Structure 1
């Protein structure tokens, strides 16, 4: 037998040994926290028998929405156009393809962290001509401390469970062998509860004065973390 085979490390037993038993546990944590961001969707519409006129109306109304959102300053953290469309509607009668009217739409997305401004912006947007508002949808920031706190609590629970199992056998934990993250956040990059039901608004610009601001109650978010942990422990007193 050569020296290389003699010095080869012996792999550890996957389930431990009588001298160094292993204990495997799962730690979980679920937190209910206040949201940090609210997201609303704004749909601006226009229609008319003349394509150019419909586009001009859509451009004017879209500019009014953007100007209103920007007037709230830093309260609106993100403002972006999600989609634009101009669609001809054909007549149902006749042999030829004749356009009856044109439908134009622009979809704008806004995110706010100031929930006081959110209520005012939502109603003022809904008061604009041919404008619909959906939302709000509440969420946490990707770097929210709530994610880290949930993971920390999941690890603490795993350690506590392992100690209880070892204690039930008259043993104690001696070393951590493995700690595996199973996906700490629920819902991908954002830990989110289910979206709130959309609140559509459609109002005429002929209304006098500004509408009263909505009193919106933020929907609490659920943050979930889960880990698997393996420890070695001292021989049990059986």
Structure 2
């Protein structure tokens, strides 16, 4: 007679001979940011649609060329929304186009915060250019996430041992480890917005004469939570 492999009965809630202890492990870390994002909005305005688009294209090319001079400190450079819209005015019963407004939005991600201050200053010196940010962040692959998870596991084991000590016994084995979430909470961006200069206005200083803006990075928080189930050596409760 052939017998199949022996099976082990799983008792999800434990038994008197294999009591379980389920605990939560938590970690809360603060760390310096690794990258920063800024948004650059370029604007053009004119009475002719073609001229407005040409002005916007020129401003976009100039801005991209400037950003790209910073090489590897720019981790990502993306073009967002491009809009060209007419501004209507009413004459009698008819609507006429008074002017055209054009905007284009760029997003840059930097890993060097000294470069960030210099770049923001130079961009803010351009006409009809608005800069929003920075938004500080960690990369998805940041070691801080793994560090938080390790601390959460250690916290769970510490709690399990404390419960076991209260029962005058010891933790025996790990049954289950469940990740209930690792969260990175970006802190609020610095209160910096360089708004566009009025139409037709020109910068009064060359970028080389303007000191870079000193931007202080905002520390980031990483939270991790786990649940772990351990078996205990049966305690003597009598």
TM-score, normalised on structure 1?
0.91
Q: Which moved more, 1:49-58 or 1:202-211?
A: 202-211
Question: Any gaps of 5 or more consecutive residues in structure 1?
Answer: none
- 1:209 paired to 2:206: yes
CA contact (8 A) 1:76 1:113 kept: yes
User: Deviation at 1:74?
Assistant: 1.6
Tell me if the contact between 1:150 and 1:223 (Cα under 8 Å) persists in the aligned partners: yes
Contact 1:127 1:202 in 2 (8 A): no
User: In structure 2, what is the Cα distance between the partners aligned to 1:104 and 1:28?
Assistant: 49
Detail structure 1 runs of 4+ shifted over 6 Å in the superposition. Answer: none
Does 2:75 match 1:77?
A: yes
CA contact (8 A) 2:125 2:206 kept: no
Choose which of 26, 49, 57 in structure 1 pairs with 2:47: 49
Output aligned runs, 1:1-238, within 5 Å. 9=7, 11-186=9-184, 191-203=185-197, 204-210=201-207, 211-238=210-237
How far did 1:95 drift? 2.0
How many residue pairs were aligned?
A: 231
Offset of 1:162 from its aligned partner? 0.3
| CA deviations over 1:104-150 (Å, ceiling 9, x no partner) | 00000101101001001001101101000000000011111000000
Q: 1:69-128, CA deviations, whole angstroms, 9 ceiling, x for partnerless residues? A: 111122212111011000111114432231111110000010110100100100110110
**How far off its partner does 1:220 sit?**
0.3
Question: 2 CA distance for matches of 1:153 and 1:88?
Answer: 57
After superposition, the C-alpha distances for 1:175-219 in whole angstroms (9 at most, x for unaligned) are 100000012123xxxx52334445233345431322220000000
Name the SS for the 1:119 alignment partner.
Answer: helix
Query: C-alpha distance in 2, partners of 1:33/1:181?
Result: 21
- Cα pair 1:181 1:228 within 8 Å, conserved: yes
Change (3 A) 1:57 1:7: closer
Report which of the two has the higher share of strand: 2
Task: Give the Cα separation in 1 of the matches to 2:87 and 2:196.
Answer: 22
More divergent stretch after superposition (46-55 vs 204-213): 204-213
Aligned mates of 1:233, 1:56 — CA distance in 2? 74
Q: CA RMSD in A?
A: 1.9
